[in-house]
Amino acid sequence: MKQKIVVWILLVAGCGFEPSLVVTCDDGVKNGSEADVDCGGGCPDRCADGGGCIVSTDCESSSCIDGACREASCDDGVKNAAESDVDCGASCDAPCGDHQHCATPADCTSGVCTDGTCIPSTCGDGILQSGESDVDCGGGCPSCDNGKACVAHDDCASRACVDGSCGMWVEAIGPSAVYTGAVDAAGNLFAVGIFDGLVDFGGGTFDSASGRDVFLAMYAATGQHLWSTNVGPGLPDSASFDASGNVVFAGYTFGGNFGGDSFGPGLFVAKYSATGDYLWSRHYPAAAAAPGITTAANGDILLTGSFSSQTMTFGGTVLTNPAFPNDSALYIARLSAADGSSVWARTPLHLTAGVGRDVALDPAGDVLVVGSLRGSIVDFGCGIEPISGNEDAFIAKLDGDTGACAWARADSPMQGLPGKRALAVVADASGNLFVAGSQNNSAETVFVEKYAGTDGSRLWARPPVAGLLPSLWMRAALDPTGDLLLAGTYTGASPSFGGSPLMNADAATHDIFLAKYASSDGTHLHSQRFGGLGDDHARALGRSPATNGIVLMGSFQQSVDFGTGPLQAETPSSAFFLSMGSLP
């Protein structure tokens, strides 16, 4: 039988057939044009990884390297597997470049896939693309606004990238000093202060030919100069925005005018538009100060302070100073938004002396005023409160429309020692109020307390902050969660505001503190200091709704670093404008 088969094969061969040309793709033999056994070449099946190949189409992976099929990868120089183009897109980490194929925007370096092709990126397409730190900004695109993501300072219009977010910026301008300021709903900064000599706040050079002049300056939330002006000699005390973006400020003037009629020395209140146009001013020819100011929902101005002259007149209301000529009396007044005319004015009864330090409004529009008193009793109009005879802090709530007393509290110093002064007040969404100030309890301390808006009962009080000498300036604000923000100026080596001690570079000079406390019980959440070897003062605190960050304004001497590198002061000082992120 075997011999017959051999003969038959020989006979076939002899008839001109070539056995090697008889090829099938399922005979288990690598023959014909196959790249490997029964695969590749003319066979419908491609060869598996590890099999032989001649070209990439021989392989299931479409990857033929050195005559062998290899597993598909993103560096084999072949468009294979789920790749949208050669070694890019889809399953590959590397996106595809411009003009390569794509299936989705994520396949493209530019982030733009149109009709199956990656399109070059632009800075206005509304898409976060490679090279941008946020959508259409940063990198090679225009600078990002506050709150946008960033990689470097140059990504930000504020020139400050902190923890991956634009929102911190700082500007130093001198020789000058911010005395007061405010922040509006758009995050714009309004600063009032003094300057001496030649200085440019961003809109041109001013010259204080008379010695020390008062400046007004407005900056956008991102730090760009909006407007500034010189209003002549004086001592500014307080400033506020109204709901329309107009600004009001108050203080003492040595004489001059703010755009209207000229007047002599005395207390002033002035109002300017959001674009810096003069609207009106009021003058009170009295030796007086106005460290507290705010605005009502209708734009009326609430003002508190003290006067050392014998009388002070608001419209038809004459207030008398019982301590004249030895001391000052406190006043509280409401002025019309339209022209500054008096709506009402009050001074307490039975008072020996007193000073209003700060004023705020609760959500109902009632007036909250704080400060300090001296004497034996006081009556704001709702009952006599005893005073220790030294210096007591006071808190009073008055009807916003009439000035009538709702309740008042005089808080005697601990152990009968002198010197408790309420310096700052702010109300929360429930109408409760936070009060902070300084107190002498064998050593100077800072106190922080919370009171019920309904009756003035104390809800909590933090342990006093010891080991420092606070200045008579302190301001309070609320963060977006309702927790308390507190800023001020102090001297001392290493006081603790509830956290780690804040080390002063020179215990004899002033540094700036910034602290945060929980609304619920006063728990310390954060504290930090800014300052160098000179005297450094914070004089305005606000929260920017645009970024939910914090705004500080004031002055510094020598050098200070707010986190963006050392700033050098002009002589005698430079004003600073700081917009930073929210506190932990």
- How confident is residue 547, by pLDDT bands cut at 50, 70 and 90? low
Per-residue pLDDT at 12: 38
H-helix or E-strand spanning residue 3: helix 2-14
Does the N-terminal peptide bond of residue 325 adopt cis geometry, omega within 30 degrees of 0? Answer: yes
In whole angstroms, what separates CA 463 from the centre of its chain? Answer: 28
Per-residue pLDDT at 1: 37
- How confident is residue 4, by pLDDT bands cut at 50, 70 and 90? very low
pTM of the model: 0.76
Cα-atom radius of gyration of the chain, to the nearest Å?
38
Average pLDDT over residues 412-424: 69
Q: Distance between CA atoms of 353 and 375, rounded to whole angstroms?
A: 7
Does the N-terminal peptide bond of residue 236 adopt cis geometry, omega within 30 degrees of 0? Answer: no
Does the N-terminal peptide bond of residue 386 adopt cis geometry, omega within 30 degrees of 0? Answer: no
Instruction: Among 165-179, 321-335, 413-427, 543-557, name the one with the lowest average pLDDT.
Output: 413-427
In whole angstroms, what separates CA 487 from the centre of its chain? Answer: 14
Per-residue pLDDT at 573: 96
* Nearest alpha-carbon partner for 318 in 301, 331, 308, 334: 331
How many H-runs (helices) and E-runs (strands) does the chain carry? Answer: 1, 39
Q: Which domain holds residue 3?
A: 1-71
Per-residue pLDDT at 223: 87
Is 482 a domain residue? Answer: no
Of residues 187 and 18, more confidence is placed in: 187
The dihedral sign for the CA sequence 546, 550, 551, 556: negative
Average pLDDT over residues 389-414: 87
Task: Name the 3-class secondary structure at 452.
Answer: coil
Per-residue pLDDT at 425: 98
Per-residue pLDDT at 416: 47
Per-residue pLDDT at 441: 56
Of residues 210 and 528, more confidence is placed in: 528
22-52: pLDDT as tens digits: 668 998 999 988 999 999 998 999 999 999 9
Q: How many domains does the chain have?
A: 1
Per-residue pLDDT at 418: 58
Contact 523, 584 (CB under 8 A): no
Q: Distance between CA atoms of 44 and 40, rounded to whole angstroms?
A: 7
Cβ atoms within 10 Å, residue 386: 12
* Residues 6 or more apart in contact with residue 15 via CB below 8 angstroms: none
Is 62 a domain residue? Answer: yes
Average pLDDT over residues 377-393: 85
Residues linked to residue 47 through DSSP beta bridges, in sequence order? 59
334-379: pLDDT as tens digits: 999 999 999 999 999 877 789 999 999 999 999 999 999 988 888 9
Q: Distance between CA atoms of 541 and 475, rounded to whole angstroms?
A: 6
Of residues 451 and 18, more confidence is placed in: 451
Is 567 a domain residue? Answer: no
Is 191 a domain residue? Answer: no
- How confident is residue 13, by pLDDT bands cut at 50, 70 and 90? very low
Of residues 10 and 216, more confidence is placed in: 216
Angle in degrees, CA 276, 282, 285, rounded to 5: 135
- How confident is residue 158, by pLDDT bands cut at 50, 70 and 90? low
In whole angstroms, what separates CA 556 from the centre of its chain? Answer: 20
CA distances from 577 to 184, 423, 481, 565 (A): 15, 22, 24, 14
Is 204 a domain residue? Answer: no
Q: Distance between CA atoms of 389 and 485, rounded to whole angstroms?
A: 32
Instruction: Among 208-222, 317-331, 401-415, name the one with the lowest average pLDDT.
Output: 401-415
Q: Distance between CA atoms of 284 and 457, rounded to whole angstroms?
A: 36
- How confident is residue 2, by pLDDT bands cut at 50, 70 and 90? very low
516-546: pLDDT as tens digits: 999 999 999 999 999 999 999 999 999 887 6
Of residues 135 and 154, more confidence is placed in: 135
Is 451 a domain residue? Answer: no
Contact 487, 514 (CB under 8 A): yes
Is 65 a domain residue? Answer: yes
Is 15 a domain residue? Answer: yes
Mean pLDDT score of the chain: 88
Average pLDDT over residues 459-487: 87
